[in-house]
Amino acid sequence: MEFSPEHHQRPFIIPCLLLCSILRPSSRRQSSPVFPPGGGRRSCERPAAGMEAALASALAKEVLLKLASLLSEKHKLTKRLKDDIHSIHTELKMILSEMDEHLGDPRPSGPRVVSMEEMRDLAHDIEDCIDRFLPCAACEAEAAASFVRRFKKALSSNGSRFAMEIRGLRDRVKVAHERRANYGLNGGGSSAAAGAGVATPPATETHPVGIDKPKQELVDLLLGSKPRNLSVISIVGFGGSGKTTLTRAVYDCPAVALEFPARAWAKGSDHTDAPGLVNFICSELPTANNHSNDVLPTTKCLIVIDDINQQHWDHVKASFHGKIEGIIIVTTAFHSVANACRSGDGYVYKMGVLDAEVSKVLLMKRFSIHEFSPDMELGATAIVDKCDGLPLGLVSVAQFLLGEEMLTGSRCEEVCRILGHHMEVNAEFTKLQQVLVHNYISLSDYPLKTSLLYTSLFPNDRPIKKNTLIRRWIAEGYVQCGYKRSDLEVADDNFRKLVDRNIIRPIDASNNTKVKTCKTHGVMHEFLLHKSMSDNFIASLHDQNRSKCRHLFIQNPTSGSTLGLDQHTSPASNSVCGSGSEKLRARSLTIFGNAGDASSELCRCELLRVLDLEACSDLADGHLKDIHKLWHLKYLSLGGTVRNLPKNIDKLHCLETLDLRKSKIEILPVEVIGLPHLAHLFGKLKLGKKDMKVDELKKFQPKKCNLKTLAGFIADESPGFLQLMAHMTELKKVKIWCESTGTNNHIAEAVEKFAQRGMDTADVRSLSLDFGNSLGDFLDSIEKLCYLNSLKLRGGLSLLPHFVTSLCGLKELCLSSTNLAGKDLSNLCQMRLLLYLKLVEADLSGFIIKDRGFPSLLRLCLIVQIPVLPTIAEGALPRLVSLHLLCKDLVDLSGIKIEYHRDLQEVALDSMVSTNTVEMWETAAKKHPKRPKVTFLRRIDPSETESGVKYVATEGPMREKASSVELIQVQSAQNMLQNECMIRSVQSISVNTHNSASKKTVVSELPQVARELFSAGNSAMPPCAR
């Protein structure tokens, strides 16, 4: 049947995604750069069907909490209104208790699915109604006066609009309950499958393309090891990345079979009980007594456990450790499990994705062709870009395309454009779909599922900033605080869980292990995106169903196009607005590129929690004049076309995050700092001249400031910002640019007060100071003991300040362009608690790290211009696991002896180092007991000079690649010049023949640049090619 919206049937997992977004009070959001069509029914999604009910249930429970809040004594409701709310509360509870009994049903009936969708819509409408009239929940009794007045006015009589809406919602809930009873949904029903788990997707065999190097690495590790007991190699990666294929290739290697006479292969997911797994392994191993599994072999063993979990490992370790000699190879999707399995001299191998060239080789093998035509090259590129190097994704797409009678590049591009739809409805994607569905439904709770779904809002070719993502989660209400834990801590923990499972992968993680940017795997992004759009979780502002969606987006519409906001009206919205103008129920709006007409329509989304305009390219100051009407706004980011904040921005009472880093805004009204819920303020800001006056500052000082992050402000000739810092008692992270030496004393005083406040708490505190063109010696005036976790200093220092070495609790230190002498830097060795040190200097000569220096340091990053590295004595840096030596002119090992650091796991080099240097480091790494991985980082020009030196990960050394590219360019230029020479010759002959047969033929001489290119080309080519 041809796919069309009329035939669209919402898959069960999709509504639950939406529900999970709705569960939190007062916020939602999502958007997407792709526009796949609505989904069809998908068989492989059925195992996740029960999850929809779970999410609908969770959403409704959140609404129950809001209803309970309305019924509290602090809201003076009329008796009839209170009775209506109580009726809604009771009916919802009854429906929810019945729904909870059927959460394990993997195949709910059609009527039950429709009922769950109805419950979701009801929960949305109830939540919208409450949010529209309830004052700021965070303020409770201390709510702003305007909110209180608005609420009391709304509740002044039974005839109020709020009372009428509540009454209408009460009737709808009652009808929904009756309808469930009529269809037999309020009891009974099949629950035979309740409690049935979701099986781990079966292993997928793919063509072993691109595994030669990792296979050889692991084989060398196996053959070179001499374990006295039992060593472990953990192979970790996302489902479908080729873990099983790689492990099987190593296991079947003849050399490995000779080295390990006793071998066993077991699949962890086939054994629900750990003892059963151990018994199976014992039965596979040959023993002296073949009739007894209790006798373990005495020869070297190789045991493979594919898809292991933590419970399996605990039992395996207890059963075999110290009893047999050999190696265990385990595969897992969890970093935490891989690390737990590693013990002693164990090794963790992280699966990467296939690069573009290897991906195309895999496609050619699947298509049974030797090379792509120019047309198919374009199609293959589209597939590679969409699958993002995931082998199972590439194989699945290729398998689907094999059914084409005539395969063309345009057909490949068409399939990739709606890949989410094809993954849903075509059997060739069954195994891939099992992996993706399993990754989603195995998440522990609905906030985590919603947080993952939320990532589909961002274009997959645009890495997501981790801190931006988690702050938006919080603003949307997707984070449920735990006991004695802040929203930020819970959100950060949720992010770590997704990274641990390899669902979200870090991109260009910083060298202190903190993830800066991330993205989902390409096919996982398609899976999440298709679900969220199919079920109206997110929608384009162009979409006719936009009024039903919680999250709206615009992505690069045609400049000046009409978005047609008035063409599609939601009846539900009209009943609220009381006008013909469409009111959108979206909780978030994100704009990538041009906003078009939408820039003047922002206030139609009156319940917005998140307004992300950072990537909007045509927004003017005037478009923000009414932004203060978005009373519920919690997150606001502005882009590079905005120069001034709107005058009434101080009326955004609920605002929590204000990000101005991409904007051209420099002047910040002091009233913004006084917003009661503003916790995170970003930009490079200063106060206006009016706000610098003492009288103006006094107006602010009595107010309680909630700022936790201020990154940052300019300390110029006025000490205004520095004086305000004394009143920012909640501040945890500060960044300051110093532009005037006249305020140095004020800076020192402000820094001292900020750092001293940490002495009585266990809070994480971070300080960043950029001295600009002046010296930072004013830090020597700080004499009291202070507490910081992280300190960054950029700019000149005459001596290393005592303030630095005396800090309590300092874990991370970064010094950039300080020009400190080696002797001063050597004094850092006494910092016994330091875990991460980064030095960005022109020269590190004279820097000596003596025996027992930096006893706790785990990560050391040195970025230098002159390839002179510090002298590191044996016994120094005993716990070092990561060493970054970034200098393009680095020569050989530069005196570094990595054998001194037995726990070393990683060495990172500048991608432009010489081939000889790369080979020496790789050889040294192979001789190291831990075989640390040698990686390469490419230096890029930062977008802003104050952001300093920045490196990003790259696949390998670039100097050799650059030489190859140069050779190709020279050869191309040579061919062009040869063609030009031939043309000129023919033209000359033609002209001379026409004019005079007696004249000699004259061939135009090649210009000097051509001769140089010929010469360069010939010298660059190998002799056989000349």
Least confident of 99-113, 230-244, 686-700, 846-860: 99-113
Residue 7 has pLDDT above 80, yes or no: no
Identify the band that residue 337 occupies on the pLDDT scale cut at 50, 70 and 90.
very high
Q: Cα(690)–Cα(526) distance, rounded to whole angstroms? A: 51
849 neighbors 874 (Cβ within 8 angstroms)? no
The pLDDT, as a whole number, for residue 202 is: 42
Average pLDDT over residues 929-943: 84
Which one has a higher pLDDT value, 149 or 568?
A: 149
- Alpha-carbon dihedral angle through residues 881, 886, 891, 897, given to the nearest 10 degrees: -20
Q: How confident is the model at residue 974 (pLDDT cuts 50, 70, 90)?
A: very low
- Residue corresponding to tokens 């050999």: 326
Q: For the purposes of burial, counting CB atoms within 10 Å of the CB of 150, is it exposed (0-12), middle (13-18) or buried (19 or more)?
A: middle
CA angle at 294 for the pair 291 and 298, rounded to the nearest 5°? 90
* Angle at alpha carbon of residue 391, lines to 506 and 923, rounded to 5°: 65
In the chain, the amino acid numbered 749 is E
The string of DSSP letters for 912-951 reads TS-HHHHHHHHHHHHHSTT-PEEEEEEEE--SSGGG--EE
Q: How far apart are CA 641 and CA 634, in angstroms?
A: 21
DSSP 363-381: HHHHHT-SS--HHHHHHHH
pLDDT above 60 (res 230): yes
Q: How many CB atoms lie within 10 A of CB 219?
A: 16
Say whether pLDDT at 203 is over 60. no
CB 137 within 8 A of CB 25: yes
Assigned token pair, 91:
């009916």
Highest mean pLDDT among 102-116, 562-576, 641-655: 641-655
pLDDT in tens, 415-456: 999 999 999 899 999 999 999 999 888 887 778 888 999 999
Strand (E) positions, 786-919?
A: 790-796, 812-816, 836-841, 848-849, 859-864, 871-872, 882-886, 906-910
* 26-30, 334-338, 762-766: segment of lowest average pLDDT: 26-30
Largest pairwise CA distance in the chain: 117
Cis upstream peptide for 326 (omega within 30°): no
Torsion angle, CA of 1016/1020/1022/1024, rounded to 10 degrees? -20
Residue 10: closest CA among 143, 130, 112: 112
Instruction: State the average pLDDT over residues 87-98.
Output: 67
pLDDT at 727: 83
Higher pLDDT, 991 or 720: 720
pLDDT at 880: 96
Average pLDDT over every residue of 488-495: 92
Q: What is the pLDDT of residue 1006?
A: 38
pLDDT band for position 558 (50/70/90)?
very low
Q: What is the pLDDT of residue 1025?
A: 37
Which of 71-85, 213-227, 641-655, 964-978: highest mean pLDDT? Answer: 641-655
pLDDT at 157: 45
In Å, what is the CA distance from 977 to each residue of 266, 592, 980, 990, 1005?
A: 62, 43, 5, 20, 11
Question: Residue 513 pLDDT > 80, yes or no?
Answer: no
What span, in angstroms and rounded, lies between the C-alpha atoms of 1021 and 736?
53
pLDDT score, position 72: 61
> Mean of the pLDDT values across residues 3-16?
37
Q: Is the pLDDT of residue 635 over 90?
A: yes
What's the confidence (pLDDT) of residue 189? 47
State the CB neighbour count (10 A cutoff) for residue 946: 12
967 exposed, middle or buried (CB, 10 Å; 0-12, 13-18, 19+)? middle
Secondary element (H or E) of residue 465: strand 464-465
CA distance 786 to 810: 10
Closest CA to 25 of 481, 492, 603, 493: 481
Cα-based distances in Å from 48 to 56, 334, 553, 856:
14, 21, 27, 46
CA distances from 490 to 16, 139, 331, 342, 678 (A): 22, 21, 28, 28, 19
Strongest mean pLDDT among 172-176, 232-236, 291-295, 966-970: 232-236
pLDDT at position 1005 is 40
Q: Under DSSP, is residue 746 helix (H, G, I), strand (E, B) or coil?
A: helix
Burial pattern 815-847, b for ≥16 Cβ within 10 A else e, equals: bbbbebebebbbebbebeebbbbbbbbeebeeb
pLDDT class of 570 with cuts at 50, 70, 90: very low
Q: What pLDDT was estimated at residue 173?
A: 80
Q: Considering only residues 60 and 329, tell me which one the structure prediction assigns the higher pLDDT.
A: 329
Helix (H/G/I), strand (E/B), else coil: 293? coil
Between 742 and 875, the higher pLDDT residue: 875
Task: Round to whole Å and give the CA distance between 338 and 309.
Answer: 9
Provide mean pLDDT across the span 581-607.
Answer: 81
Per the DSSP assignment, residues forming a β-bridge with 767 are: 734, 791
Name residues whose C-beta falls within 8 Å of residue 380's C-beta, 6 or more positions apart in sequence.
360, 363, 372, 409, 412
- Distance, in Å, from the CA atom of 350 to the CA atom of 243, rounded to the nearest integer, reads 9
- Specify the pairing of strand 790-796 against strand 812-816: parallel
| Predicted pLDDT at 693 | 63
Strand partners, 520: 504
Contact 644, 667 (CB under 8 A): yes
Burial of 287 (0-12, 13-18, 19+ CB in 10 A): middle
The secondary structure element, H or E, covering residue 396 is helix 391-401
Task: State whether residue 794 is helix, strand or coil.
Answer: strand
- Distance, in Å, from the CA atom of 666 to the CA atom of 940, rounded to the nearest integer, reads 26
How confident is the model at residue 395, as a pLDDT? 94
pLDDT at residue 132, as a whole number: 76
pLDDT in tens, 514-532: 888 999 999 999 999 998 8
What digits encode the pLDDT tens for the residues 455-469?
999 998 888 999 999
Quick: pLDDT tens for 39-71. 333 344 444 444 455 455 555 666 666 666 666
Report, in angstroms and rounded to the nearest whole number, the Rg of the chain calculated over CA atoms.
32
What is the mean predicted confidence (pLDDT) over 931-935?
91
Helices 1008-1020 + 959-995 axis angle, to 10:
130
Q: Distance (Å, rounded) from C-alpha 331 to C-alpha 329?
A: 7
How confident is the model at residue 605, as a pLDDT? Answer: 84
pLDDT tens for residues 657-706?
999 999 999 999 888 988 999 999 999 999 877 656 666 666 665 567 88
Provide the β-strand partners of residue 885: 862, 909
Kindly tell me if the per-residue pLDDT of 825 is higher than 90. Answer: yes
Across 638-658, average pLDDT: 91
pLDDT at 253: 93
Average pLDDT over residues 973-994: 46
Q: What's the pLDDT score for residue 417?
A: 93
pTM score, whole prediction: 0.81
Residue whose tokens read 């018994």: 279
Beta partners for residue 686, in sequence order: 667
Contacts of 13 (CB under 8 A, 6+ apart): 45, 48, 49, 51, 52, 437, 440, 441, 531
Q: Which tokens hold the place of 988?
A: 């000359």
φ, ψ at 771 (rounded to 5°): -80, -10
Cβ atoms 612, 576 nearer than 8 A: no
Residues 697-719 have a mean pLDDT of 79
Question: What local confidence, expressed as pLDDT, does residue 957 receive?
Answer: 84
| DSSP-derived secondary structure for 321-365 | TTTS-EEEEEEES-HHHHHHH--TT-EEEE-----HHHHHHHHHH
Q: What is the reported pLDDT for 201?
A: 42
* pLDDT band, very low/low/confident/very high, at 181 (cuts 50, 70, 90): confident
Beta bridge partners of 565: none
**Contacts of residue 892, Cβ cutoff 8 Å, sequence gap at least 6:** 916, 917, 920
Q: Which two tokens stand for residue 412?
A: 């490949």
Residue 364's pLDDT band, with cuts at 50, 70 and 90, is very high
Backbone angles phi, psi at 479, to 5 degrees: -115, 125
Average the pLDDT over 138-147 and give the result. Answer: 50
Report the C-alpha gap between 933 and 921 in whole angstroms. Answer: 10
Cα–Cα distance between 86 and 98 in angstroms, integer?
19
Angle CA(389)–CA(391)–CA(397) in degrees, nearest 5? 95
Q: What single-letter amino acid sits at 139?
A: C
* Res. 8: pLDDT tops 50: no
566 or 506: which leads in pLDDT: 506
Q: Please tell me the predicted confidence (pLDDT) of residue 581.
A: 58
pLDDT at 108: 63
Question: How much is the pLDDT for 58?
Answer: 55
Res 968 pLDDT > 70: no
- Structure tokens belonging to residue 173: 């809930």
- Give the integer Cα–Cα distance in Å for 880 and 858: 4
Please name the residues in contact with 973: beta carbons below 8 A apart, sequence gap of 6 or more.
Answer: 1013, 1017
Bridge partners, 540 (sequence order): 553
Task: Write down the mean pLDDT value for the chain.
Answer: 78
Residue 382 has pLDDT above 90, yes or no: yes
Using 50, 70 and 90 to split pLDDT, how confident is the model at 501? very high
